[in-house]
Chains A and B, each alone.
Chain A
């Protein structure tokens, strides 16, 4: 797989009905890297991701994929380059895991073509990569939240796209499963050079796992770059309106935030903290 697909937004304006969500937004997704988009609720991060996945047409500006306007490319062609895991995907009642993951092959199949050996290989590889091979014959309804999320990621993997967009892939998961899903995404990035763009709620996990961090506020990019540079107390204040300490994560050396609320702030601040 190649890693040189270029995805960017130029002067992007987005909205629903008469509500404007994103205005005049520019960003470049670094190819072959893991990008996390963070921001307060309703700052437009999911809307931005939907637009980059061709689900929402821009009002102004454009999303550019490899030099072409994404919203003018045929759906099926886009689906072979760019995969999306939406925030709340729907599994048909009673579908088997193997069949659900097989749906990811849709953009590669012709109208009348039968299921090919290549499809079987892609599905098996996707199940293997997400550790869900043993679940293949189980019914999706029976799975736990963490297993189900891995199955959805497997479906996106079976699509074999070089770009993968994920809208809050860790929501509704406990902390162990959150880490498991993010580890899995980094594995993919390392093994295939898949470009990953994800919207994340948890700032600390975003800083830990992303190569490139985009902080959004009020429909604009407020800061973008290396997590170490982006995630400062000033950025958190500007983006979330929250006071916090920023410490180096003892494991990864990446920045880690400790929010300061109005309560339980009497303990002395440890030495060496700004």
Chain B
């Protein structure tokens, strides 16, 4: 190393710092645009329906003024629905990208490897077989989702967790659990069917505040923990050895991240059913939009909310028949899954 004159050193520090700040600024502004898109979709969900209400009327409903007609339609029907869509989208996006980042593979999303299926199967059994409702369903879904994650993790653990082995085992577990869902629904009583059907295709139909509250609590707590662990998650992308050399407690961080993400996914699934492929799509799309260098947690969460709110609007109003949001995201997600499988097969993929 040769001695470099001091002003030149300062100039290089400034140059390097400017590059870093530029990249950070770009990520922030794209994230800001995503936030605006989510706000716009949320507002549209409140305004559009069989009767259109303008932003003024919607705003007056939101701040609690009585507006004839709008108070009920917007306040009681559309607001819980849009809020539920927003929150599940955030939860699926954040939970999904945590899994994908941690396992360094976009296929390792909780809806592909059976975590969502675990929550679904538990909820269907709880509703149809045991006649449980609301909060109890959520708790059972969370417990079984955690157990499913533990089983997948345990079965794929050999000298650490390898992404591919975990994904294959997870796909197998998902198939088993989906057959449980089908079996229970075939045997279900007529009056349980509408509710249980939600567990085949996630939807925002019949959204109520009692669906929203547990999910909001889970999102604040689990989402907060995931954001706190964001730096560890980001460092784990460099590989276990490097992350450990950089001072991350690898095994402990990974278990905490997986456990928390499972809780988030399970609460989301318990509230709306498995809205197909949102957890799977949000992270990779966010990575394309924001650029893959930095943390994807917030962009992926916003992308999840964008997907759910947009899919719900499309499903409700773009066709003659009303489709649940999960059908729309499923139509979007399946081709992407195939594309990804082809690409991964060729290149060995990451996010």
Chain A: CB-nearest residue to B101: A92
CA of A102 to CA of B248, assembled, Å? 15
Give the interface segment out of B131-139, B203-211, B237-245. Answer: B237-245
B343 within 8 A of A: no
Q: How large is the interface on B (under 10, 10 to 19, 20 to 34, 35 or more residues)?
A: 35 or more
**In chain A, residues 125-170, which have Cβ atoms closer than 8 Å to a Cβ of chain B?**
125, 127-129, 133, 136-137, 156, 159
In the complex, B4 has a CB within 8 A of chain A: yes
| Given known A111-B228, A120-B16, contact A79–B247 (CB-CB < 8 A) | yes
User: Is the C-beta of A124 less than 8 angstroms from some C-beta in chain B?
Assistant: yes
Indicate whether B6 reaches chain A with its CB closer than 8 angstroms: no
Q: Which of B298-351 contact A (CB under 8 A)?
A: 350-351
CA distance A107 to B244 in the complex (A): 10
- Would B245 and A86 count as touching, CB distance under 8 A? yes
Interface residues on chain A, size class: 35 or more
8 A Cβ contacts from B150-181 to A: 159
Assembled-state Cα–Cα distance A187/B1 (Å): 6
- The reply to whether A99 and B247 form a contact with Cβ atoms under 8 Å apart is no
Within the assembled complex, what's the spacing in Å between the Cα atoms of A239 and B12?
A: 47
Contact partner of B238 (CB less than 8 A), chosen from A54, A76, A103, A123, is A103
> In the bound complex, do residue B292 and residue A92 qualify as a contact, i.e. CB atoms below 8 Å apart?
yes
Q: Which of B16, B242, B292, B294 sits near A123, CB closer than 8 Å?
A: B16
> Do the beta carbons of B13 and A120 come within 8 Å of each other?
yes
Given contacts A89-B238, A103-B235, A124-B16, contact A191 B1 (CB under 8 A): yes
Residue of A75, A89, A96, A115 near B293 (CB, 8 A) is: A96
Q: Which residue of B lies closest to A138 (CB)?
A: B19
The yes or no answer to B29 lying at the interface (CB within 8 A) is no
A-B contact pairs, 12 of them (CB 8 A): A17-B159, A79-B246, A80-B247, A84-B245, A86-B239, A89-B242, A103-B246, A106-B247, A120-B20, A128-B12, A133-B12, A159-B246
Q: A84-B245, A92-B238 are in contact. List 12 more A-B contacts (CB 8 A).
A: A53-B241, A86-B241, A86-B242, A92-B351, A94-B287, A94-B292, A103-B235, A120-B20, A123-B20, A124-B15, A124-B17, A191-B1
Seen from chain B, the residues whose Cβ lies within 8 Å of a Cβ on chain A are 1, 4, 9, 12-13, 15-17, 19-20, 23, 104, 159, 228, 231, 234-235, 237-239, 241-242, 244-249, 287, 291-294, 350-351
A: residues with CB less than 8 A from B are 16-17, 50, 53-55, 75-80, 82-86, 88-96, 98-99, 102-104, 106-107, 109, 111, 115, 120-121, 123-125, 127-129, 133, 136-137, 156, 159, 187-188, 191
